[in-house]
Amino acid sequence: MSDVLPNPDEPSPDVDATIHGGGVTGQAGALRMAIERPHRVGRLVLMGPGGVDTTRGLPTPGLKRLLNYYKGSGPSMEKLTEFIRGDLVFDGSQVPESVIQERYASSIDPEVLAAPPLLGPKGLPNFKALDFTRDPRLAEVQHPTLVLWGTEDKVNRPSGGRSLQKRMPNCDLYLFSKTGHWVQWERAEEFNAVVTSFLQQDAHALERLAA
């Protein structure tokens, strides 16, 4: 995370707040930043983020496949196809071969292979670090937050959305029916509309004040 998070002691006069989103690990990093460096965060957009309720049940089959992708025999088209079509989306038949090939090429990039991501914790796990719902500071995150989750997510349990909403005072939750983990891909038009509306709220508030 040290390569991702800016130094909190360094002034940043050009940036008042940051909006965060991204993939599973990127969103977990964004939520971690909101907890540890709240002055650097504005609005949060989280889509089926990792690190939520992870210690309150056994890992999902999808998460197991994700964490094992670089282990054993290593990356393969067969592994990735099973994961994408079987775990990431509600209807795997809708994922074209080109998407899988593109993802596979990225997964075997030499720089990625040199430091594979998502290998899981080593040794005795730090439950507070692995699961945001174990961190009491989560309740102190005041940032407006939008959580989006597919009800058929097989990687990160959709119940995590309710867990975040229960603990975060300004958290809105949007659930997509018949949708897996890849909400932004399966429901792109609706996803874009919901996120755009959420991000525009600050601008609308400023317009009302100026009127």
How far apart CA 151 and CA 194 sit, in angstroms, is 16
160 and 53 Cβ atoms separated by less than 8 Å: yes
**Contact indicator for 165, 133 with CB cutoff of 8 Å:** no
Q: Determine how many CB atoms are found less than 10 A away from the CB of residue 88.
A: 23
Decide if 21 contacts 47 (C-beta within 8 A). Answer: yes
- Residues 6 or more apart whose Cβ sits within 8 Å of residue 62: 83, 86, 87, 88, 153, 154, 155, 181
Give the residue numbers marked as catalytic: 181
Query: How many residues can be counted in the chain?
Result: 211
Burial 171-188 (b: 16+ CB within 10 A, else e): bebbebeebbbbbbbbbe
Query: From the CB of residue 89, how many other CB atoms can be counted at a distance below 10 Å?
Result: 23
